[in-house]
Structure 1
Amino acid sequence: MRNEHLNELEIPLPPLPEQRRIAAILDKADALRAKRREAIAKLDQLLQSVFLDMFGDPVTNPKGWAEVPVGSLAERITKGESPKWQGFEYCDDGVRFITSENVGRGRMIRKDKFIPSDFDDKICRSRLKSSDLLINLVGASIGRLSIMEDDLLPANINQAVATVTLDRTRISVDFVMAMLLTPSGQNRLLGGKVDAARANISLKNIRDLVLPLPPLPMQRRFEQLCGVIRHRRMELAYSGSKQDELLASLQQRAFSGQLSQAA
């Protein structure tokens, strides 16, 4: 639209008291979204607090747990490849492709990207399994971790993400993720690198990473708590999506003049 046409643009203009009423409705809807985000953040803080209370700081290891390298606890530690390096392109449907954008801090970020099954066959060594631990290896999101979710399978990964398949008869995936998400755990994972945005984590770094190993029943109790918090977070995320839809609907009605007509 050219600037000279702006003067001719007509917009609904309810009386000022009505404008204030509409603004108040939108503010209340936005406040609900802010409270949901705060509730999710508090759940994450609770989980980290419980971890430190149960197991202590993973670097100083005040409870004196035996320390074991990840390589001796893992059935597999690997990463994927870039499809373009192999002459493949992304497609609309196929095998889900996980990149660093999908690996959030303690949870998966759902952004759909797919690769042809031929490329998945070519890099079958990095096909993801249920409850694999995913670790971002490079870039601004280095050190973020999440656990692969069953409903996102089948899936594969690119070269910026490592997958660690742990021996769950010896160690809990939830325990490892929570440990590596603590400040000292992140520092150990990154090797003390200051400029994390330009650093990188190698597969050898992960294999050599030493973890405290508390008794498995104790890890299982923590794992159960993780399940409860994860379920609550999912409930908040679902209600949040409904709140987002409500706010979008209210905004559309407000700017089209329909909200001012409502009782």
Structure 2
Amino acid sequence: MSWPLVAIEEFCSTGSGGTPSRNKSEFYNGSIPWIKSGDLRENVVTQASEFITPEAIEKSSAKLVKSGAILLAMYGATVGRMALLGIDAATNQAVCNIIPDEEKAFPKYVYYALLNKVPEFINNAFGGAQPNINQGMIKSTKIIFPPLAEQKRIAAILDKADSIRRKRQQAIQLADDFLRSVFLEMFGDLSKDKMTRFGEVVTLDAKMVDPRGPEYIDLLHFGPDRIEKGTGRLLPALTAREEKLISKKFLFDESYVLYSKIRPYLKKCALANSIGLCSADMYPIKPIEGKTTREFIWLLLLSNIFTTYTKTLPDRASIPKLNQAELASFEFCLPEYSRQKKLSKIVRAIIVMKGKVENDLHESESLFSCLNQKAFRGEL
């Protein structure tokens, strides 16, 4: 069925917020949620990381936005991120609020329509290293505009598909949280009792090889950007051939843990799942058999005790924050090897389960994407 293309500005009002002066303490720690682009983590925002006062609303460019508005991050690291506002709140200037006229448009339909346009926004954005979306781009964007009843029908279908993929995303997050809780439950505070140096239970002398060699050129190459923050999941990577690598790289196999020595507070650490290459920005760490297991080392490097240790080290701007000597000097209470092996068994079982859920997530994301494309081609 053919429906008209209508510009957002014809049935929505748009605006942005502001940042009250940080020099005025009376503007902060109030009762009004103040949403920043980094707060757009879920499809519905119900919490803010900061709060401002009514006086801040009166004396700054921050404005109160009613629940139900559509929020879109216009620039910064979160550019293109979207959410529905589930509470009355103010926003900063990086967030555009889009308020549909509900006599003409169903907010959830407009949300999905704009979500479908995000790649286009980013492709057409201006700016240097970081793309910027502006209100003019949003207002002039045209979407397929069926009757209100049809908008609600389409939004309901997309809601169901979106719900499936979000539940699978949540299941993966719960699995990651479970692993950390198991680690804490089994080993507790590892900063007490007899301490062991990290360098005594692992080796840090992985072989460096020329990636142009015939036995290495088709191996995958991993840098810190190929480790997902927080989860330790290895992201898809290119081969040495595809990257046209020429400098030497570390060679690792399935017995290693990969840890980023650049800005270690980001907690970038992964279990290697194949033979591969990693950049000099990484430490391939090999547990010593009979002393530690790689699953224990992995969760140890993601733990608060290790994060706390890295924060005590000198912050060198021009070179990696954590050098090999500092990593080797990290001290902790080493649990019995038999207990580590129990942890490893649990971790491996959870990883298998996560793999199945991740496959299901991939399928559900493909389904949502397909339905989204069809909906805004007028084919759903």
Smaller-chain TM-score range? 0.7 to 0.9
- Structure 1 stretches of 4+ moved >6 Å: 79-83, 119-122, 194-199
* Cα separation, 1, equivalents of 2:280 and 2:184: 32
The alignment status of 1:54 with 2:186, answered yes or no, reads yes
Q: What SS does the aligned partner of 2:345 have? A: helix
Q: Which residue does the alignment assign to 1:243?
A: 364
* Cα separation, 1, equivalents of 2:307 and 2:333: 14
Q: What SS does the aligned partner of 1:165 have? A: strand
The structure with the greater share of residues assigned to helix is: 1
Query: Is this contact kept in 2: 1:174–1:223, CA < 8 A?
Result: yes
* Cα separation, 2, equivalents of 1:143 and 1:39: 21
Q: Which residue does the alignment assign to 2:343?
A: 222
The 5 Å alignment of 1:138-177 reads 138-139=262-263, 142-150=266-274, 153=275, 155-177=276-298
The alignment status of 1:114 with 2:239, answered yes or no, reads yes
The structure with the greater share of residues assigned to strand is: 2
Larger Rg: 2
* Cα separation, 1, equivalents of 2:207 and 2:165: 36
Q: CA RMSD in A?
A: 3.2
Alpha-carbon distance, 1:173 to partner: 1.0
Query: Is this contact kept in 1: 2:265–2:307, CA < 8 A?
Result: no
Q: What SS does the aligned partner of 1:256 have? A: coil
Q: Over residues 192-230 of structure 1, what are the superposed CA-to-partner deviations in whole Å (9 max), with x where a residue is unaligned? A: 359799861111111112232211111111111111111
* Cα separation, 2, equivalents of 1:77 and 1:161: 12
* Cα separation, 1, equivalents of 2:317 and 2:231: 19
Query: Is this contact kept in 1: 2:264–2:307, CA < 8 A?
Result: no
Structure 1 residue runs without a partner (length 5+): 1-8
Alpha-carbon distance, 1:258 to partner: 1.1
Aligned residues with identical type, % of pairs: 22
Moved more, 140-149 or 230-239: 140-149
Query: Is this contact kept in 2: 1:79–1:160, CA < 8 A?
Result: no
Structure 2 residue runs without a partner (length 5+): 1-140
Query: Measured at CA, do residues 140 and 51 of structure 1 come closer, stay the same or move farther in structure 2, by a change above 3 Å?
Result: closer
The 5 Å alignment of 1:30-179 reads 30-59=162-191, 61=192, 64=193, 66-77=194-205, 94-104=218-228, 105-116=230-241, 123=248, 126-139=250-263, 142-150=266-274, 153=275, 155-179=276-300
Alpha-carbon distance, 1:159 to partner: 1.7
Alpha-carbon distance, 1:67 to partner: 2.5
